[in-house]
A and B are shown apart, each in its own frame.
Chain A
């Protein structure tokens, strides 16, 4: 009853081309934003903010980035972790070289550095497709990770060979470093993630998004319609890496507070890929849902034994969570190969016709 679009007429194409054409959807988005900007910072515990919401938002952004490439353009990448790393190291380098410039500007700029690197590693997509390309992106993963380890210049020759996030201010407010307050970091992450989601949504709903999807669905037909394949694919690599880069910079500067090369290893890439596939390829909402599930699941699994009062060895829990996450991935794929986003669509469709489904 609540979710009905009957009676909502559109009288011009502006209204019909809107991203959320249905009123209830717009209300839903408004409620979520209200929750994120008001309720969570007011009532959320420190644990919730630090260990759940901040990383969830950052990973959502990374999986939006990967989804633009894999879900929308059909190019499978296993190098997400490395591109996130490029963002993090670039941000560190930039803010070390020019400490006077606002850190937020450097976070965005580090996205551009990641985009440039992404384009370079996207070049093989000119000649190879599908899984061959996926393996080629592993080259990016291993090569970049090697760079992070072997080039001490990247970490300002720190003895620890790791990024140590310096303190940076915006006006009087400490944004990064050990003294930054939890809420400052939360709002910074939230604003960046919301803004970039809005931009991603604009991109995929317009000409660029259609070009990407055309290349994904039928590259030959797309080319015969005047879409230049290489340019389109490289653009996808660039935008995707930009998103991953910013996510990586935020991961280190606004969440971890420090990072070494291992932070951006191949497991990080897989982690984000899981989110995209479980959430739903080619869906921005799916990126959020996937991030929530894949990031949230291990946290729940870790909390579960205590909640149930069953004492368990932490190593055992770790192994169990591998087993369960793996099993759940398979089960999810079997139940709904198109991901959580499709489940959500089906639910909406059911709501629409409820209570008379015939």
Chain B
């Protein structure tokens, strides 16, 4: 993998990403106000909060889709100011989306192969010929992608245009596409929204497996409290764009502010 501005290797348990004092507003509406938290390498970090708390905005800031008005993001020890989304991807941040954002006209295989784009280095001219190095590269990456397809148990839909797949499978393909990027930090925006119980259990298993097998650090937004409590190592709670709690799941569960803002309200 290409190392952008040579960040030092980070051992498990050290801080991989630190958000400091992030503020973001849209035409006067405050989406985030002075939010700080960190994500440690190798952990599963949950971001929770009621609807409109600013969770997705936070992810958007982390991978450069939104520019924070104030505050900084430090990733792998590199502090960065303004950053384009593709740069975040080059740094090794991948994500999935709240509303599935797959390439609907392409097959599962092509979606995952598209996830490998950044890792493919052959020039345009080799691609014109589709011979030699370009084809070699294509096949190498195909092998990688097939590993992910096996891992997610989706070989039967390899050639199906993803627009035709049921919702649960689309979510899985989207996870696969993010994995194909071999990210260091994986952002999952409500990976289990709209799923039934079995699908949720499957997805949980994949998330834990990704974390264990590949050692990928994961930050996820989720509404299902049971899932959050079981999966995550640490939880940060947002409400109205502010951080109101941060810590281990059990600790957060007992926090009065959290209960007032969120858990106390029957859903």
A and B touch in the complex (CB under 8 A): yes
Which residues 111-140 of B sit at the A interface, judged by CB distance below 8 A?
113-115, 117-118, 120, 122, 124, 127-130, 134-135, 138-139
B164 at the interface (CB under 8 A from A): no
Nearest chain A CB to B119 CB, angstrom units = 9
Could you say which of B65, B110, B139, B177 contacts A14, with CB atoms under 8 Å apart? B139
A208 at the interface (CB under 8 A from B): yes
Which residues 42-86 of A sit at the B interface, judged by CB distance below 8 A?
none
- Pick from B86, B102, B142 the residue with the most CB of A within 10 Å: B86
Residue pair A210, B65 in contact (C-beta under 8 Å): no
In angstroms, Cα B121 to Cα A62, docked, is 30
Contact indicator per residue, chain B 88-100, by CB within 8 Å of chain A (1) or not (0): 1110001101000
Could you say which of A17, A202, A207, A227 contacts B86, with CB atoms under 8 Å apart? A227
Interface residue stretch chosen among A134-142, A213-221, A313-321:
A213-221
Q: How many residues of B contact A (CB 8 A)?
A: 40
In angstroms, Cα B146 to Cα A185, docked, is 47
Q: Which residues of A contact B257 (CB under 8 A)?
A: none
A25 at the interface (CB under 8 A from B): no
B193 at the interface (CB under 8 A from A): no
A339 at the interface (CB under 8 A from B): no
Could you say which of B84, B101, B139, B143 contacts A221, with CB atoms under 8 Å apart? B101
In angstroms, Cα B124 to Cα A206, docked, is 10
Residue pair B124, A208 in contact (C-beta under 8 Å): yes
Q: Which residues of B contact A203 (CB under 8 A)?
A: 127-128
Tier of interface size on chain A: 20 to 34
Nearest chain B CB to A83 CB, angstrom units = 20
A199 at the interface (CB under 8 A from B): yes
- Pick from B94, B104, B128, B181 the residue with the most CB of A within 10 Å: B128
The answer to whether A206 and B134 touch (CB under 8 A), given A13-B139, A13-B143, is: yes
Helix, strand, loop or mixed for chain B's interface? helix
In angstroms, Cα B104 to Cα A218, docked, is 8
Residue pair B89, A207 in contact (C-beta under 8 Å): no
Residue pair A225, B110 in contact (C-beta under 8 Å): no
The answer to whether A202 and B128 touch (CB under 8 A), given A210-B117, A225-B117, A228-B86, is: yes
Closest to B181 in A: A225
The answer to whether A217 and B102 touch (CB under 8 A), given A207-B120, A207-B127, is: yes
Which residues 53-78 of B sit at the A interface, judged by CB distance below 8 A?
63-65
For the complex with contacts A206-B134, A225-B118, 14 further pairs of A-B residues with Cβ separation under 8 Å are A14-B139, A17-B138, A206-B127, A207-B134, A208-B127, A213-B106, A214-B103, A216-B103, A217-B102, A217-B105, A218-B103, A223-B85, A224-B64, A224-B65
In the complex, 23 of the A-B residue pairs with CB atoms within 8 angstroms, ordered by the A residue number, are A14-B135, A17-B138, A17-B142, A19-B130, A202-B128, A207-B122, A210-B117, A214-B103, A214-B106, A214-B114, A214-B117, A216-B105, A218-B102, A218-B103, A223-B65, A223-B85, A224-B63, A224-B64, A224-B89, A225-B86, A225-B181, A227-B114, A235-B124
Chain B residues at the A interface, C-beta cutoff of 8 Å: 63-65, 84-86, 88-90, 94-95, 97, 101-106, 110, 113-115, 117-118, 120, 122, 124, 127-130, 134-135, 138-139, 142-143, 146, 177, 181
Chain A residues at the B interface, C-beta cutoff of 8 Å: 12-14, 16-17, 19, 199, 202-203, 205-208, 210-211, 213-214, 216-218, 220-228, 235, 282
| The 6 nearest A-B residue pairs measured at CB | A226-B89, A202-B130, A217-B103, A221-B101, A226-B118, A210-B114
